[in-house]
Amino acid sequence: MRDELIKLLRGILKHPATSIVVGIALVVVGICDAYETVFEDFIGVDVGVHHGLILFGSIKVLEALLLVLEGTESLVLEEEIEEAGIS
């Protein structure tokens, strides 16, 4: 039972869709928080938590997209190998 729960949680947390959703949520929260003070932040170079959220969220989205692209590339290569009849 415990191993099944760990396997389920690992599958959810390692899935690219989870990273994309979390990353987008972090970016949106950061933008919403920064929206009111965006001009003052740039003029006064005031770095806040919302900037970190936007950066971290963007990185998570890019990591997830990289995983999706790598997976797609692997599937295409595997399909080409099967079509060519190479073992």
> Distance (Å, rounded) from C-alpha 7 to C-alpha 70?
22
Q: How far apart are the C-alpha atoms of 71 and 51, rounded to whole Å?
A: 30
Asked whether residue 53 is domain-assigned, the answer is yes
Tell me which residue range forms the domain holding 46.
Answer: 16-84
CB half-sphere exposure, 19, CA atoms < 13 A: 17
Whether residue 7 lies inside any domain: the answer is no
- Please state, in angstroms and rounded to a whole number, the distance separating the CA atoms of residues 13 and 63: 13
- For residue 87, pLDDT beyond 60: no
Asked if residue 4 belongs to a domain, the reply is no
* pLDDT tens figures, 22-78: 888 888 887 777 776 666 666 666 666 777 777 888 888 888 888 888 888 888 888
- What is the tally of structural domains in the chain? 1
Cα–Cα distance, 41 to 47 (Å, whole number): 7
Q: What pTM, to 2 d.p., does this model score?
A: 0.58
Does residue 69 sit within a domain?
Answer: yes
> Is residue 71 situated within a structural domain?
yes
